[in-house]
Amino acid sequence: MQETGPSQNLRVMGMPTTSNLSDRAHAALLDRLRDGRLRSGTFLSMPVLVDLIGLPIAAMREAVKRAEASGLLTIVPKRGVAVMDAGPQTTRDCLELRTMFDCEGARRIIASGGAFPLAALRETHHQLLAEARADPACDLQQRAIRTDLSLHDALARGLDSPLAARLYGENRDRIAVIQNTRPFVPDRIAPAMEEHLAILDAIEARDSIRADAAIRYHLRETLRWWGV
């Protein structure tokens, strides 16, 4: 049966459908959460959020519902939305969940001998480590975040599961909000890169027990540096 109705008419006319607008609103909302323009604890009314994103309120409502389902926002009825709390308990929960993905991803990568960008990861980590050691005061925060994520993303891909990938992605967004609240301090960059390199060494040696221990040590050190 041929589809009829407003959505079909909009497609025929070349205009965005409600679904397309909702997807665009959700993507724009995620961008602002990831890059720190919407920080932990921020409260916004829906009209303010609509002005900020520049898309219709119906699309924004759908985007906000999706973000709330991922734990990124809390809807306050008749008032607006609040960006997720990045306090100690939330930080611990999100990092412990990532560690579960990391450990299982590493175990599967080692067991299967599947594709893993070991050489590329090692090169970028060594380069950043050398720069951090040479000039600890240098502003390397954004590169440190990207380099940090490159390893965690690679480990998560080792799970080879669409469901795990979705759950990891949602948690990755929550950690982005946390990182904008608890950024890399210069003194943390070199130790973090060394911890990552220990994980890479264990994977290269195909030692899953050692990889698990290195990943959990990285978790403990990250929590300690963040005062959690």
Structural contact between residues 106 and 155, judged by C-beta atoms closer than 8 angstroms = yes
The set of residues, in sequence order, having a beta carbon less than 8 Å from that of 32 and lying 6+ positions away, is: 38, 52, 53
Confidence of residue 93 (pLDDT cuts 50, 70, 90): very high
3-state secondary structure of 73: strand
Half-sphere exposure of residue 141, counting CA atoms within 13 Å on the CB side? 12
Given 19, 53, 83, the domain boundary residue is 83
Q: Is residue 111, in this structure, part of any structural domain at all? A: yes
What 16-19 contacts at long range (C-beta under 8 Å, 24+ apart), as own/partner pairs, is 18/58, 18/59, 18/62
The set of residues, in sequence order, having a beta carbon less than 8 Å from that of 123 and lying 6+ positions away, is: none
Given 59, 83, 107, the domain boundary residue is 83
**For the chain, what is the mean pLDDT?**
89
Q: What is the pLDDT of residues 163-219, one digit of tens each?
A: 999 999 999 999 999 988 877 778 899 999 999 999 999 999 999 999 999 999 999
User: Domain residues for 29?
Assistant: 6-83
One domain, residues 198 and 219 = yes
Q: Is the pLDDT confidence value at 13 over 70?
A: no
CA separation for the pair 162, 139 (Å, rounded): 36
Please tell me the predicted confidence (pLDDT) of residue 7: 45
Range of weakest confidence among 12-16, 56-60, 74-78: 12-16
One domain, residues 75 and 103 = no
CB atoms within 10 A of CB 185: 12
Q: Percent of the chain beyond pLDDT 70?
A: 92
One domain, residues 28 and 104 = no
One domain, residues 29 and 107 = no
One domain, residues 99 and 160 = yes
Please tell me the predicted confidence (pLDDT) of residue 9: 46
The set of residues, in sequence order, having a beta carbon less than 8 Å from that of 228 and lying 6+ positions away, is: 88, 91, 92
What's the gap between Cα 55 and its chain centre? 24
Burial class of residue 85, CB neighbours in 10 A (0-12, 13-18, 19+): middle
Please tell me the predicted confidence (pLDDT) of residue 12: 43
Please tell me the predicted confidence (pLDDT) of residue 170: 95
Confidence of residue 18 (pLDDT cuts 50, 70, 90): low
Provide the CATH number for the domain around residue 31. 1.10.10.10
One domain, residues 26 and 109 = no
Q: Is residue 76, in this structure, part of any structural domain at all? A: yes
Q: Is the pLDDT confidence value at 76 over 60?
A: yes
CA separation for the pair 164, 151 (Å, rounded): 16
User: What are the C-alpha distances in Å from 170 to residues 71, 158, 177?
Assistant: 8, 17, 11
One domain, residues 78 and 177 = no
Please tell me the predicted confidence (pLDDT) of residue 11: 47
pTM for the full model? 0.84
CA separation for the pair 19, 193 (Å, rounded): 41
Confidence of residue 17 (pLDDT cuts 50, 70, 90): low
Greater pLDDT, 148 or 10: 148
Count of structural domains within the chain:
2
Confidence of residue 141 (pLDDT cuts 50, 70, 90): confident
Q: Is residue 1, in this structure, part of any structural domain at all? A: no
The two three-digit tokens of residue 119, written as one number: 């050489």
CB atoms within 10 A of CB 104: 18
Given 83, 115, 144, the domain boundary residue is 83
One domain, residues 61 and 113 = no
Q: Is the pLDDT confidence value at 39 over 80?
A: yes
